[in-house]
Chains A and B, each alone.
Chain A
C-alpha cells in the first residue's frame, strides 16, 4: 500500500473507522445527539476527502478497484445521500420505541458496502461489498422489530437477497470457470481473444444479471420492492431507494461496459426487454396505490427502467445522462421521503394517501416541497427530473433506440396520473391527517426542514439552470 493508495481509499477508511468509533461511543453510553452528530461529521469528512482525486493506484489495488470519474461521482452522491438520511434519522428515531444508536453503525457499514460496490473492478470486492450492504440492510429494514410489517419485510428481504446472492456467486463461478479470471478487464481481454463467448460464459452472465436485477428491483425480479419499502423505517426506505440502487447500478455499468456487453446481441435484447417491462409495469402497478411508500416503490422500479434505457444507449452521452439522472433522482427521492419523515408521528408513518388530504391548508411548506418532488419525479419542466428525462431521451435517440424512447414517453404519461393524484389530494379540502401534538425537538425539526428546503431549491435550480451541474459532471467524468 502506498500513500496514494491510502488517499484513494480515504472515503472508505473514514466511514469504516467512524462505524467502529460509534460502537465505542455506544459502549460509553453517549447520547443519541452526539452519536448522530459524529455520524454526520464522518459523512462530511468523507465527502471532502473525495476532492483529492488519486492519480495512480498501485498494482495490487488496481486489480481490485477502479476509481474513475464516474465512480467518484457516484461516491459523492452516496455520501451526500447518507448525510441527508442521517439528518432525517434523528427526528424519526428519537421518537420511536427502539434504541436508535446501533442504527448509525449499520447505516455507516451499509454506506461502506455501497462504496466498495461502486469502485469494484473484481468479483471479490463486488461480492463482499454486496454482502456488507445486504447484511446491514436486513437489520435496518427490521429495525423497529416490534412492528409486524418490519419483521415481515426484513425476512422477505433476507430470503430473496440470500437467494439472489446465490445466483450471483454461481454466475461468477461459471464465468471464472470459462475465463480463469475474476478481474473485469481481464475477462474483457479473454473475450476479445476468443471472439465469441462460450455458452458457459453466457449462462454465468445471465445468472449475474438476475442477481443485479434483483438488487435494482427491475421487473421480473421486483416482487420484494413494495413490501420492503412499506415495512422498513422511512430513512431506511430512502436509503434502499437511493444508495443501494445507485451502487448496484454503478457495478452494472462498470462490469457491462468493461466487458463490452453490447457485442452480444442476446444480452442487449434481454436488457431492452427488462427496461421496457420495468418502465411500463412499474408505472402501471403504482396507479392504484393508496400507500405512499408502496407508490414510491413502484415508481422507483420505473425510474430504474429509465436509467437502464440511458445505459443501453452506451455512448458518451449515455453515461452523462445516467449521471445526471442519478443526481436528479437522488435529490428528488430524498426530498419526497424527507417530507414523509417529517410528517410521521411516533406511532405511525404518514404513508397513507389520506394523511395528505388537505395538507396544503395545514402545513403549506411541506405540501409545496412534496409537490415539487413529485413533479420532479414525474418529469415536469422546470424541475431537475425533467432535465434528467430529457437527457436520457436525447442520449437514446442519439443511439437510435426508438422503441425504448416511445415506451419512455408513454410510461411517463401513465406516471403523471398517480403523481398528480397525490398532488390534487394535498390541495383538496379535508381534515384527515396526522396531527403532531407538539414539536419534541425543535432544533432538529428546523435542521430537517432546512435540508428539505435545500433539496427543493436544488430540484428547481438545476431544472432551470442545469448547465452548471452538466459541466461539473463532464469535468468529473473526463
Chain B
C-alpha cells in the first residue's frame, strides 16, 4: 500500500513538473491529465473512491476537454493539420503514456487486491456524500451556487465584446 502510494505521488509530482516546463500548451495538457490521474489514484488508495471518480470526471474529463476545445478553436486553418502531424512525434506522447501505464498497472493491482481481501475501502459512497451535502451543509451548497454566479457574471463582463455600429455620418461604440 505504502509503496503504491509513493509511486503514484511521485508520478503526480513528476508530471506536474513536466506541465510547467513544457513549451507547447497541448503537451503540457497531456502531462496535466496524467497528474490528475495520479492524484485520483492517490485519493482512491486513501479510501475515497467517490472523490477519485469525481476528480477524473470533473478535472481530467470536463475541464481538460474545455481546455483542448479552446485551443482547437484558436488554431483554425489548413496549415494546422500539417502542424499537428508534425507535433505528434513519439517523443511527445511516450512520456505521458508511460506514466499513465504505470498508474493503470497500479490500479489493476489495487482492484484485484481489494476484491480478494476486502479490507481497505469502506464508506464514502455517493449516498453518504449526498446526505452530508444536502443535510448539515445545505447552506454551503447554496453559497457555492452564488460563488458560481459571481464567476459567470464576471466572465460575462470581462469577455464582453464591444459592438461597433457604423453609420455614414457617425460612428459610435455601443456595448
Q: Is B65 on the interface with A (CB-CB < 8 A)?
A: no
User: Which B residue's beta carbon lies closest to that of A131?
Assistant: B147
Q: Choose from A9, A63, A129, A142 the contact partner of B136 (Cβ within 8 Å).
A: A63
Q: Is A128 on the interface with B (CB-CB < 8 A)?
A: yes
Evaluate whether A116 and B150 lie within 8 angstroms (CB atoms) in the complex, with A60-B136, A102-B156 already known: no
Tell me, in angstroms, the Cα distance from A60 to B141 when the chains sit together: 14
Q: Is A25 on the interface with B (CB-CB < 8 A)?
A: no
Q: Is B157 on the interface with A (CB-CB < 8 A)?
A: yes
Whether A99 lies near B175 (C-beta < 8 A) is yes
Tell me, in angstroms, the Cα distance from A131 to B145 when the chains sit together: 12
Q: Is A212 on the interface with B (CB-CB < 8 A)?
A: no
Can you list, as one digit per residue, whether each of B138-150 has a CB less than 8 Å from chain A (1) or not (0)?
0110111011011
User: Which B residue's beta carbon lies closest to that of A139?
Assistant: B154
Evaluate whether A135 and B158 lie within 8 angstroms (CB atoms) in the complex, with A64-B139, A99-B175, A124-B137 already known: no
Q: Is A136 on the interface with B (CB-CB < 8 A)?
A: yes
User: Which 8 pairs across A and B sit closest by C-beta, in order of nearness?
Assistant: A139-B154, A109-B150, A60-B136, A99-B175, A102-B157, A136-B150, A135-B150, A132-B147
Q: How large is the interface on B (under 10, 10 to 19, 20 to 34, 35 or more residues)?
A: 20 to 34
Q: Is A61 on the interface with B (CB-CB < 8 A)?
A: yes
Evaluate whether A112 and B137 lie within 8 angstroms (CB atoms) in the complex, with A23-B153, A99-B175, A139-B157 already known: no
Tell me, in angstroms, the Cα distance from A60 to B133 when the chains sit together: 12
A/B interface sample: 23 pairs, CB < 8 A: A9-B139, A19-B149, A23-B153, A61-B139, A98-B157, A102-B153, A105-B149, A105-B153, A109-B146, A113-B150, A125-B140, A128-B143, A128-B144, A129-B143, A131-B147, A132-B146, A132-B150, A135-B151, A136-B150, A139-B150, A139-B154, A139-B157, A139-B158
Q: Is the interface of B mostly helix, strand, loop or mixed?
A: helix
Interface residues of A in 5-40 (CB under 8 A from B): 9, 16, 19-20, 23
* Closest CB in chain A relative to B114 CB, distance in Å: 24
Evaluate whether A128 and B140 lie within 8 angstroms (CB atoms) in the complex, with A60-B135, A102-B156, A143-B157 already known: yes
Cβ of A105: which chain B residues have Cβ within 8 Å of it?
A: 149, 153
Q: Is A138 on the interface with B (CB-CB < 8 A)?
A: yes
Can you list, as one digit per residue, whether each of B153-169 has a CB less than 8 Å from chain A (1) or not (0)?
11111101000000000
Query: Which of B139, B142, B175 has the largest number of chain A CB atoms within 10 A?
Result: B139
Can you list, as one digit per residue, whether each of B120-142 has a CB less than 8 Å from chain A (1) or not (0)?
00000000000000011101101
Q: Is the interface of A mostly helix, strand, loop or mixed?
A: helix
Cβ of B139: which chain A residues have Cβ within 8 Å of it?
A: 9, 61, 64, 125
Tell me, in angstroms, the Cα distance from A61 to B136 when the chains sit together: 8
Cβ of A23: which chain B residues have Cβ within 8 Å of it?
A: 149, 153
Cβ of B149: which chain A residues have Cβ within 8 Å of it?
A: 19-20, 23, 105, 109
Tell me, in angstroms, the Cα distance from A16 to B139 when the chains sit together: 12
Cβ of A248: which chain B residues have Cβ within 8 Å of it?
A: none
Whether B140 lies near A64 (C-beta < 8 A) is yes
Cβ of B158: which chain A residues have Cβ within 8 Å of it?
A: 139, 142, 145
Interface residues of B in 74-126 (CB under 8 A from A): none
Cβ of A60: which chain B residues have Cβ within 8 Å of it?
A: 135-136
